[in-house]
Amino acid sequence: MHKSSIRVSDISAQYWCERQMELNYIHGPSITKEIKKGSKIHEELEGEINVPIILQPKSYADSLYKALYTSHQAVATLKEKGVTREVQIYGSLGGYKVVGKIDQLQTENGETAILEDKTRGNDTMPSDAQVLTHRVQVMIYKKLLDDVNSGDYSAKNFTMAYKTANLKMTDEFVRQLDANQVDKGLQDMGAIAEAFFNDMRTLNKISNTLYVRYLNQFTRKEIKMERLQYDRNEAQGIIMHMLKFWNGERKSLPVPENEKWKCNWCVFFGKQCTVWWQK
């Protein structure tokens, strides 16, 4: 696969089934009812904490600006309320652009803590295999957030990577910014990038305690709150493993035989992937 940009969700998916993740890119992902329900809950939780920002992008440049501006506003909410939702995070791993969206940041014991929400169809805990993908996800978030917080990845890195000097927002979108009373001084890709990354630099130290909260997708009841500890060596091992695939050093890995039960929930099983298909 020839890509320059990787989503954090792709990296976590590599630890569920790397072959499935690759096939999702080739053939298109399957959007299930569970995924739609989970997205709806995330929207509701965001609306309870952050001030809604109504912007309708008309181009790639518009979408990139909206992501930066809403995250800039979200960080302001964190400083005001001690908690915020849906913060975009950008970074670089092994020369690849990496992007993700952190469900929640909260101030805790003078530090900034990461919390990821996962929805479940019932009140049971997920399997160890599922928990592993969630662990990978928050570990990568922590690594990226540390890089931005320390200044190792800055607005300068971002503007070079995304070539923002060549991007121009549509006139219609600029009119929307005016209607939302966005500061004229921020109605520029370079200015909003600088503001957002400066915001992230001023956050408290990023906590080594990472949270994964499991919620019932129907009742929104909390099933369990998992507390994980960040391990720098483990994170580096995750990054080295995933980069071997993206660099073309190895083919995508199917699940091992003792995890072939995962295939029962895969739309590619018996079609594009027949590794464990019983003929």
pLDDT averaged over every residue in the chain: 91
**Residue 3: per-residue pLDDT:** 80
140: CB partners within 8 A, 6+ apart: 8, 11, 12, 93, 98, 100, 235, 238, 239
Statement: residue 16 has pLDDT above 50:
yes
**Residue 238: per-residue pLDDT:** 96
Task: Report d(CA 144, CA 44) in Å as an integer.
Answer: 26
**Residue 53: per-residue pLDDT:** 80
**Residue 279: per-residue pLDDT:** 54
Q: Cα separations (Å) of 66 from 40, 184, 273?
A: 20, 15, 38
**Residue 38: per-residue pLDDT:** 47
Among 226, 58, 237, CA closest to 128: 226
Residue linked to tokens 């952050």: 50
- pLDDT, tens digit, for every residue of 231-274? 999 999 999 999 999 999 999 999 999 999 999 989 999 999 99
Q: How is the chain split into domains, by residue range?
A: 34-248
pLDDT tier at 219, thresholds 50, 70, 90: confident
Task: Report d(CA 150, CA 50) in Å as an integer.
Answer: 25
Q: Which helix (H) or strand (E) holds 111?
A: strand 111-120
**Residue 220: per-residue pLDDT:** 86
- pLDDT, tens digit, for every residue of 154-188? 999 999 999 999 999 999 999 999 999 999 999 99
Q: Where are the alpha helices (DSSP H) in 110-211?
A: 128-150, 155-161, 171-179, 189-201
Among 106, 109, 74, 108, CA closest to 88: 74
Statement: residue 92 has pLDDT above 60:
yes
DSSP state letter for 153: S
- pLDDT, tens digit, for every residue of 96-143? 999 999 999 999 999 999 999 999 888 888 999 999 999 999 999 999
Distance of CA 224 to the CA centre of its chain: 21
8 A C-beta contact, residue 211 and residue 116 = yes
> What would the two tokens of residue 114 be?
């990461």
- pLDDT, tens digit, for every residue of 24-76? 989 877 655 554 554 555 466 555 666 678 899 999 999 999 999 999 999 99
Task: Report d(CA 105, CA 74) in Å as an integer.
Answer: 9
